[in-house]
Chains A and B, each alone.
Chain A
Amino acid sequence: MTAPLLEVRDLRVRFDGDDGSVSAVNGVSFAVAPGEALALVGESGSGKSVSMLSVMGLLPPVARVEAGEVLWRGRDLLRLSERELQGVRGREVAMVYQDPQSSLNPALTVGTQLTMVLRHHLGLGRRAARARAAELLALVGIPEPQRRLDEYPHRFSGGQRQRILIALALACDPRLLIADEPTTALDVTIQAQILDLVRRLREQLEMAIVWITHDLGVVAGLVDRVAVMYGGTIVEEAPVRELFAAPSHPYTVGLLAAMPRLDEPRSARLRSIPGAPQSLAAPPVACPFAPRCEWAVARCSEELPALRPAGPLARAACHRADEVRARTEATVTR
């Protein structure tokens, strides 16, 4: 593997609240190679967004990074000053948010918002920035870009606004695009269009992507690798095909089983994982998934499993990963 673009090592983040504190991220490590697309999958509160916000240095004030390193091309982003971070954000790492309705400034034209970023990071002149802004709108598939630069966000549809947010993120040719569930607020057909767009842009611009989502199905056709998060840790990490074909962690098995399938009778009820995830007051000392796990044995509630190899290219944090994998490999190759 080439030198990673982004490498997160043993990241730990706590939230301090009035009623005690919560361990949101408990020793997360992963790496993204140049041009690679990684999906961070997990349910709400699994720590996926918090992990990426710490990469950007955009954690809310109540959050505290307790330990870990976030190496961006060898530099630890956690140690940079706010001013230095401003040079990285938007320029080298850009982020697309979930809600296209509220992530654009309603009082500024789309052109103003685009040129502001271009002029700030690239030092472009007024004309050059405007020309580039129109190019960007065309790139993300907004018709009549020249004219629409002068319009305010409310004149665009939800899907178009998400396209504009992507254009904003891509404005300065970042090497890494972080997408925080950018399709959840959109209906399914628009969702598919946005996914197509990102897939095309990724090939065209050769950038790396970290796609945060709770929906495995959304990312299947888009990313190279998937990291599944639960309780603030990565429980399994594998190339996307391997993960779908032979998951090694019971939680991943459960997630895959919970997806609606076209090749099953429609009357079949959607399966769910029993129980609910708990927020942790302290970093876990045992497997956080054990209380909900059908594979759980005594050891699971005594010892925290480490992330270790579980297949050709997969890693899983489960004491019984080999058994789980053997079972999933044996059942129908889906």
Chain B
Amino acid sequence: MPDTWRRFRRHRLALFGLALLAVLVAAVVFGPFLLPYDGERIDFAAKDLPPSLTHPMGTDELGRDQFSRVLDGGRLTLGVAASAVLVSLVLGVLVGAVAGYAGGLLDSALMRGVDIFYSLPALFVVILLVSLFGPGFLTIVVGIAALTWMNTARLVRASYLTLKEREFVEAARALGVPPTRIALRHILPNALGPVIVTATLGLAIAILIESGLSFLGLGFNPPQATWGGMLQESQRPVISEGHWWRGFFPGLMIFLTVLAANFVGDGLRDALDPRAAGRRRGA
């Protein structure tokens, strides 16, 4: 792991991405405590203001401070995205590891399950979930996870298939290490590299899906703000009234987060895969 960090540090964009992510997270976690406005406080005296020093991101038609709302919404957006990635990761790793390590019938059964999830129309699933359980934090996290875990499962399964044939696994068996412990302690650490990379990229995808859902009105209900939801509310004001700041800032936040996550993912991929690092040096 120290080697990984050393290689990661050499990757400028990744470091930049990591710093950006840190700033974004700190801002949405601590920001709302520091700002003078409450994101949900209505003040008709200050409605539809363009960005200024008092309202750096302007206000909306109810006079709510956009900057506060963006930070408030960021909490939910990032929280949903992180939770969804976590759920999707745990599920994917579990299914992939069991399938790859056990092999045989169990493997076939689990992989057909993956195929089924792949072939489900994404929008339909989410609409179904939301209409059944209502648009809550849990529903949306589960919905996003249900759409994204299969990649991880396939990736982990492939890793397990090759890793379980490696000699150190055989050597561990010869030392009497039981199979579950081999799968967890010996193989998992070797399979986790690519998974961590997909996780960072998955964060970006999760944010985009959540934004998409909110944009379609399937996300959280107003007045609760999320970046995607704010983007959706901004449609009319931006198009018919020219209030560009309504859409620009939430969009900018999504853009920055996704960009940062992608940079970090890229850097991690190079740092965790020694062959990629070798190519880099050779080139």
- Which secondary structure dominates chain B's binding surface? helix
Interface size class of A (residues with CB under 8 A): 20 to 34
Residues 15-48 (chain A) with a chain B CB within 8 angstroms: none
Residues of B within 8 A of A112 (CB): 185
- Bitwise interface map of A from 71 to 98 toward B, beta carbon under 8 Å scored 1, else 0: 0000000000001011111110011010
Complex: A102 Cα to B186 Cα, angstroms: 13
Which one of B166, B168, B174, B190 lies within 8 Å of A95 (CB-CB)?
B174
Q: Are B174 and A89 in contact (CB under 8 A)?
A: yes
Q: Are A107 and B170 in contact (CB under 8 A)?
A: no
Residues 155-194 (chain B) with a chain A CB within 8 angstroms: 166-168, 170-178, 181, 185-186, 189-190
A168 close to B (CB within 8 Å) = yes
A117 close to B (CB within 8 Å) = yes
Q: Are A106 and B174 in contact (CB under 8 A)?
A: no
Residues of B within 8 A of A194 (CB): none
Q: Are A90 and B176 in contact (CB under 8 A)?
A: yes
With A108-B185, A108-B186 already in contact, the answer to whether A102 and B167 are too (CB < 8 A) is yes
A58 close to B (CB within 8 Å) = yes
Q: Are B173 and A58 in contact (CB under 8 A)?
A: yes
Which one of B167, B171, B173, B176 lies within 8 Å of A121 (CB-CB)?
B176
Residues 39-88 (chain B) with a chain A CB within 8 angstroms: none
Complex: A103 Cα to B173 Cα, angstroms: 11
Residues of B within 8 A of A90 (CB): 174-177
Residues of B within 8 A of A91 (CB): 176
With a 10 A CB-CB cut-off, give which of A94, A107, A165 has the most chain B CB atoms: A107
Q: Are A103 and B167 in contact (CB under 8 A)?
A: yes
Q: Are B176 and A116 in contact (CB under 8 A)?
A: no
Q: Are A106 and B176 in contact (CB under 8 A)?
A: no
Residues of B within 8 A of A168 (CB): 171, 175
Residues of A within 8 A of B170 (CB): 58, 97, 103
Residues of B within 8 A of A235 (CB): none
Q: Return A64 CB to nearest CB of chain B, in Å.
A: 18
Interface size class of B (residues with CB under 8 A): 10 to 19
Q: Return B134 CB to nearest CB of chain A, in Å.
A: 43
Closest residue of chain A to B168 (Cβ to Cβ) is A105
A56 close to B (CB within 8 Å) = yes
Closest residue of chain B to A153 (Cβ to Cβ) is B168
Q: Are B167 and A116 in contact (CB under 8 A)?
A: no
Residues of B within 8 A of A108 (CB): 185-186, 189
Which one of B168, B174, B181, B189 lies within 8 Å of A58 (CB-CB)?
B174
Q: Return B170 CB to nearest CB of chain A, in Å.
A: 7
Residues of B within 8 A of A107 (CB): 189-190
Q: Are A86 and B167 in contact (CB under 8 A)?
A: no
Total CB contacts across the A-B interface at under 8 A: 68
Residues of A within 8 A of B189 (CB): 105, 107-108
Complex: A56 Cα to B172 Cα, angstroms: 12
Q: Return A234 CB to nearest CB of chain B, in Å.
A: 23
A223 close to B (CB within 8 Å) = no
Complex: A86 Cα to B186 Cα, angstroms: 16
A104 close to B (CB within 8 Å) = yes
Residues of A within 8 A of B177 (CB): 86, 90, 116-117, 120
A169 close to B (CB within 8 Å) = yes
Complex: A165 Cα to B175 Cα, angstroms: 10
Q: Are A97 and B176 in contact (CB under 8 A)?
A: no
Residues of A within 8 A of B185 (CB): 108, 112, 116
Complex: A58 Cα to B185 Cα, angstroms: 20
Complex: A90 Cα to B181 Cα, angstroms: 15
Q: Return B7 CB to nearest CB of chain A, in Å.
A: 14
Complex: A251 Cα to B172 Cα, angstroms: 36
Q: Are A94 and B171 in contact (CB under 8 A)?
A: no
- Bitwise interface map of A from 44 to 63 toward B, beta carbon under 8 Å scored 1, else 0: 00000000000010100000
Q: Return A264 CB to nearest CB of chain B, in Å.
A: 38
Closest residue of chain B to A107 (Cβ to Cβ) is B189
Q: Return A13 CB to nearest CB of chain B, in Å.
A: 17
Residues of A within 8 A of B167 (CB): 97, 99, 102-103
With A105-B190, A106-B168, A107-B189 already in contact, the answer to whether A89 and B173 are too (CB < 8 A) is yes
* Additional 13 contacts, C-beta under 8 A, given A89-B173, A108-B186: A58-B170, A90-B177, A97-B171, A102-B167, A103-B170, A104-B168, A112-B185, A116-B177, A116-B181, A120-B176, A120-B178, A120-B181, A169-B175
Residues of B near any A CB (own CB < 8 A): 166-168, 170-178, 181, 185-186, 189-190
Residues of A near any B CB (own CB < 8 A): 56, 58, 83, 85-91, 94-95, 97, 99, 102-108, 112, 116-117, 120-121, 165, 168-169, 171
Pull 30 A–B residue pairs with CB atoms less than 8 Å apart, ordered by A: A56-B174, A58-B170, A58-B174, A86-B177, A86-B178, A89-B173, A89-B175, A89-B176, A90-B174, A90-B175, A90-B176, A94-B174, A95-B171, A95-B175, A97-B170, A102-B168, A103-B167, A105-B190, A106-B168, A106-B190, A107-B189, A108-B186, A117-B176, A117-B177, A120-B176, A120-B177, A120-B178, A121-B176, A168-B171, A169-B175
